[in-house]
């Protein structure tokens, strides 16, 4: 495993993190096995959110960290908040950065995670009704109380980040975004700039370039997904060319397809952090191995092309 600084926080974390959205469906023993596998692979960074499993994911992560006996200071725990889910209706009714909602969400997360603080707290989705002064006061209150050590955002574009950063006193260290071999439009739009084809459509406003300029860490979620929630592209018959190239390159470097797909993200000079969401120990091991795979420029481009992308 390799490690990197998250943003400019001074905090280092494993280049592959474990996202625990699905851990809520595990038994206590299974959850402990998942967390122990991650630790054995060198993962020291764990990502959750208050809405995952209506809080059960955070509860299971907190318990698993206790069960495996890892000292709190040896791991980094990150949560995300700002989405209001009506648990009776069982769906999201709004995005909410109000003081009361964020404070209540954070306090509940700390209770479920069995910790006094989180290393990072990210605003999960943009709230168009955000009161910037209120948010600044909320962040200051959380930081002064020692409940949150560092802050960031998730699923936000450059101008949304800039607006928030201009208001809050703490640096926004990370932006968690979907990125991977089958979710490359943030790169594709930059290559097709000043053109009129479909690939030239910029959905994100140069989010990768912005993160690099701001020294923010992009945390790549669902790195093995195609679409948003359609499924995994690895060993999927819908993507024969990509899987053939993953297999071929894996043979060249002695790695599995998951490791190759992980290494492709980590090869980008933006120094992204991959959030692996698998709850299968073998898949976690394979993804972690990608942190130690080195690619040439051409190998990176070959995978980009195999994923269906082109050059103008």
Q: For position 99, what pLDDT does the model report? A: 98
CATH number at residue 154: 3.20.20.100
Residue 312 maps to a domain: no
Residue 311 maps to a domain: no
CA count, 13 A, side-chain hemisphere, 264: 29
Q: For position 86, what pLDDT does the model report? A: 84
Q: Match 């964020």 to its residue by tokens.
A: 102
Neighbour tally for 144: CB within 10 Å: 9
Angle in degrees, CA 57, 122, 266, rounded to 5: 90
Residue 241 maps to a domain: yes
* Segments forming the whole domain that contains residue 72: 3-306
Q: For position 261, what pLDDT does the model report? A: 98
Q: What is the pTM of this model?
A: 0.96
Q: For position 227, what pLDDT does the model report? A: 82
Residues of the chain with pLDDT under 50: none
User: Looking at 3, 52, 95, 226, which residue is catalytic?
Assistant: 52
Q: For position 211, what pLDDT does the model report? A: 98
Q: For position 229, what pLDDT does the model report? A: 75
Q: For position 91, what pLDDT does the model report? A: 85
Rounded Cα gap, residues 189 and 176, in angstroms: 19
Residue 94 maps to a domain: yes
Number of domains into which the chain is organized? 1
Q: Match 């968690």 to its residue by tokens.
A: 176
Q: For position 89, what pLDDT does the model report? A: 74
Q: For position 88, what pLDDT does the model report? A: 76
Rounded Cα gap, residues 78 and 91, in angstroms: 23
Rounded Cα gap, residues 165 and 152, in angstroms: 10
Q: For position 230, what pLDDT does the model report? A: 82
52 is catalytic: yes
Neighbour tally for 246: CB within 10 Å: 26
Q: For position 65, what pLDDT does the model report? A: 98
DSSP string, 114-167: T-S-EEEEEE-S--TT--HHHHHHHHHHHHHTTSEEEEEEES--HHHHHHHHHH
């Amino acid at each position: 495993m390799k490690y990197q600084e998250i943003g400019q926080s001074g905090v280092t974390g494993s280049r592959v993190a474990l996202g625990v959205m699905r851990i809520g469906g595990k038994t206590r023993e299974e959850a402990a096995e998942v967390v122990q596998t991650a630790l054995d692979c060198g993962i020291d960074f764990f990502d959750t959110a208050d809405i995952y499993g209506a809080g059960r994911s955070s509860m299971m992560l907190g318990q698993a960290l206790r069960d495996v006996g890892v000292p709190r200071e040896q791991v980094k725990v990150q949560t995300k908040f700002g989405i209001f889910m009506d648990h009776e209706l069982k769906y999201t009714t709004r995005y909410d950065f109000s003081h009361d909602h964020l404070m209540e969400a954070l306090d509940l997360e700390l209770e479920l995670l069995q910790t006094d603080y989180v290393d990072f707290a990210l605003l999960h989705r943009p709230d168009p009704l955000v009161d910037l002064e209120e948010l600044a006061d909320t962040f200051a209150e959380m930081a002064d109380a020692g409940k949150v050590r560092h802050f960031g955002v998730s699923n936000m574009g450059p101008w949304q980040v800039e607006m928030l950063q201009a208001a809050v006193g703490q640096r926004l260290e990370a932006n968690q975004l979907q990125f991977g071999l089958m979710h490359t439009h943030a790169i594709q739009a930059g290559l097709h700039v000043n053109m009129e084809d479909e690939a030239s459509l910029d959905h994100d406003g140069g989010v990768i370039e912005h993160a690099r300029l701001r020294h923010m860490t992009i945390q790549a979620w669902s790195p093995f997904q195609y679409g948003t929630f359609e499924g995994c592209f690895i060993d999927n018959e819908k993507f024969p060319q990509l899987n053939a190239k993953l297999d071929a390159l894996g043979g060249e470097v002695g790695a599995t397809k998951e490791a190759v797909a992980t290494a492709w993200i980590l090869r980008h000079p933006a120094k992204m952090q991959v959030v692996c969401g698998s709850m299968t120990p073998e898949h976690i091991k394979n993804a972690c191995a990608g942190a130690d795979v080195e690619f040439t420029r051409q190998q990176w481009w070959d995978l980009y092309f195999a994923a269906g992308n082109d050059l103008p």
